[in-house]
Amino acid sequence: MDYSEIAQKIKELRTKKRLSIQELADKAGLTPGYLSKIENSEKPPPIPTLSKIAYALNVHISYFFDDEKSESGVSLVRKGERKEIIGDLTQIGYRYETVIQRKPDSHLNSFILTLPPEVDPQSVPYNSHDGEELIYVIEGVMIFHYGDSEYQVSEGDSLYFPATSPHRIVRATKTGSARVLSVLFLN
């Protein structure tokens, strides 16, 4: 997918949500001129900027990279067709894969998060955001920090929590990868 397709999706979604360039720029923390250049394919947005735009439009960043639109309302992503996306912790080695193709007006988002063994747990920042979150451990052992509490979770365990409080998930062992399914309900 090239930048012009991403630009077109931004503009179409902004228009569908009846937002002016100024309103979207304000919500995303950008200048209207810069947003206009992005929408007109004059300036490709770096991933952090695209992430801000996605958040302001209430879609997951993967929305801009999805090729197919499902008219039936069914989102099917086959095992070998998951797309790797950029997430908050990509820069420290965490890997995110799409599980569904999120619809623009959907409040549900999900992804598989892989925590590699080489990531130092101290380098993982706390996160908080609107909505609620469910985490299901697919593989490995992790430590889940929620506010001042700490929980050890293993394969088959699940957690459900309001995502507005600071939280993070880190590896409990230094060998092998760990994987979780994260499902978010965004308000």
Q: Which one of 3.40.50.460, 1.10.260.40, 2.40.10.120, 1.10.287.3510 gives the CATH number of domain 3-57? A: 1.10.260.40
Helix spans in the chain (H): 3-16, 21-28, 32-39, 47-56
Helix (H, G, I), strand (E, B) or coil at 149: strand
Q: Give the confidence band of 1 by pLDDT, cuts at 50, 70, 90.
A: low
Could you give the CA distance from residue 88 to residue 37 in angstroms, rounded to a whole number? Answer: 25
Q: 79-185, what's its fold?
A: Jelly Rolls (2.60.120)
pLDDT tens, residue by residue, 45-66: 877 788 889 889 988 777 787 6
Q: Which two tokens stand for residue 187?
A: 């308000």
Q: What is the pLDDT of residue 63?
A: 78
| pTM score of the predicted model | 0.64
Cα Rg, the chain, nearest whole Å:
17
Q: Give the confidence band of 71 by pLDDT, cuts at 50, 70, 90.
A: low
Could you give the CA distance from residue 118 to residue 133 in angstroms, rounded to a whole number? Answer: 26
Listed by start position, the domains of the chain span 3-57, 79-185
Q: Give the confidence band of 180 by pLDDT, cuts at 50, 70, 90.
A: very high
Helix (H, G, I), strand (E, B) or coil at 92: helix
pLDDT for 175 beyond 70: yes
Lowest mean per-residue pLDDT among 5-14, 49-58, 150-159:
49-58
